[in-house]
């Protein structure tokens, strides 16, 4: 008999089930795992959950995060300097899921390969992680990793960009599972004053090829922008704006209070927009 922990087995839901169970867009805040330190990050994740997060994304810090803008890069550097490891992030995920949170990870491919794909996805399963976003994994190279992940009931989340051709979007949609991470604009992560006017059309293009949920990230940074996205997407991902609140909070308590206020307002705006 396996000696693997079996907690959460009877409560585990898939990402697809989570999206289908909601009548409005899921609010998906992002946190840099281990930032500003492991204990503080645990408190941040708890604040996310208490403020209405439907699904929390935790990034595993990486030394060369090609898709991340300056705010998340700086936070990742601090977390790495504080000694966070992929296992440490998995421990944070396990703690959060034990408290009832739904968790996906964001990890660059080299981190997973260094850990060992089978061991990594087994650890994800044991920690209650539902899926892993891999921003530098092209669809052409995803199949083998997806097979491994699915053997542990973990989804590999693929990204789609507005610059993709219709043929490429069709290929991404055919290979995707869980949900499709739709990048709102070209470039790296970071708060923006406005979202691209072409986002609804971009989602419509992807929607021609899949019935999977579509979650929008990169640049969503205000409650109004989140509500705008919620009107036509299934998930709203907010990262840099939240990480920046901690960075500029002065102390953790002030940062947590700012996070709670921001997410409470954003959750209300997202729910009202979708219901409307």
Tokens of 40: 């503080």
- Tell me what the mean pLDDT of segment 3-7 comes to: 42
Is 8 within a domain?
A: no
Q: Which CATH number do you get for residue 220?
A: 3.20.20.70
The percent of residues above 90 in pLDDT, for the chain, comes to 81
Number of domains in the chain: 1
Is 202 within a domain?
A: yes
- Tell me what the mean pLDDT of segment 235-248 comes to: 94
Is 54 within a domain?
A: yes
The percent of residues above 70 in pLDDT, for the chain, comes to 89
| Helical H segments across the chain, by residue range | 15-20, 38-50, 70-81, 86-98, 109-115, 117-126, 143-150, 166-175, 199-207, 223-230, 240-247, 252-275
Range with top average pLDDT, 60-64, 134-138, 218-222: 134-138
| pLDDT, position 195 | 58
Is 6 within a domain?
A: no
| pLDDT, position 29 | 98
pLDDT digits (tens, 9 = 90+) for 84-120: 999 999 999 999 999 999 999 999 999 999 999 999 9
Is 4 within a domain?
A: no
Would the pLDDT of 173 be above 50? yes
Tokens of 203: 């989602």
Q: How far does CA 67 lie from the centroid of its chain?
A: 13
Q: In what order do the strands lie in the sheet with 155-157?
A: 155-157, 129-133, 103-106, 56-59, 26-32, 235-238, 214-217, 180-183, 159-160
Between 80 and 190, the higher pLDDT residue: 80
Domain assignment of residue 187, given as a range? 23-275
Is 73 within a domain?
A: yes
pLDDT digits (tens, 9 = 90+) for 125-159: 999 999 999 999 999 999 999 999 999 999 999 99
Enzyme catalytic residues: 57, 68
- Exposure on the CB side of residue 46, measured as CA atoms within 13 A: 12
Is 110 within a domain?
A: yes
Is 11 within a domain?
A: no
Tokens of 174: 């055919």
H or E element in which residue 238 lies: strand 235-238
């Amino acid at each position: 008999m396996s000696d693997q922990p079996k907690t959460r087995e009877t409560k585990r839901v898939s990402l697809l089930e989570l999206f289908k169970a909601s009548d409005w867009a899921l609010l998906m805040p992002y946190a840099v795992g281990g930032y500003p330190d492991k204990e503080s990050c645990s408190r941040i994740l708890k604040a996310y959950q208490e403020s209405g997060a439907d699904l929390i994304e935790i990034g595993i810090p990486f030394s060369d995060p090609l898709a991340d803008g300056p705010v998340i890069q700086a936070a990742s550097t601090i977390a790495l300097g504080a000694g966070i490891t992929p296992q440490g992030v998995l421990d944070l995920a396990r703690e959060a899921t034990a408290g009832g949170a739904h968790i996906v990870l964001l990890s660059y491919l080299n981190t997973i390969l260094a850990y060992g794909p089978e061991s990594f996805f087994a650890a994800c399963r044991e920690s209650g992680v539902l899926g892993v976003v891999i921003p530098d994994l092209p669809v052409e190279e995803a199949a083998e990793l997806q097979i491994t992940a699915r053997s542990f009931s973990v989804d590999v989340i693929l990204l789609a960009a507005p610059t993709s051709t219709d043929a490429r979007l069709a290929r991404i949609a055919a290979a995707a599972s869980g949900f499709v991470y739709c990048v709102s604009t070209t470039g790296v992560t970071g708060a923006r004053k406005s979202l691209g006017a072409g986002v609804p059309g971009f989602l419509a293009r992807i929607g021609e090829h899949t019935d999977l949920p579509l979650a929008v990230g990169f640049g969503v940074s205000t409650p109004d922008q989140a509500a705008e996205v919620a009107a036509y997407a299934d998930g709203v991902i907010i990262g840099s704006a939240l990480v920046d609140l901690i960075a500029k909070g002065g102390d953790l308590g002030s940062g947590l209070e700012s996070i709670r206020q921001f997410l409470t307002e954003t959750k209300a705006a997202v729910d009202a927009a979708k219901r409307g």
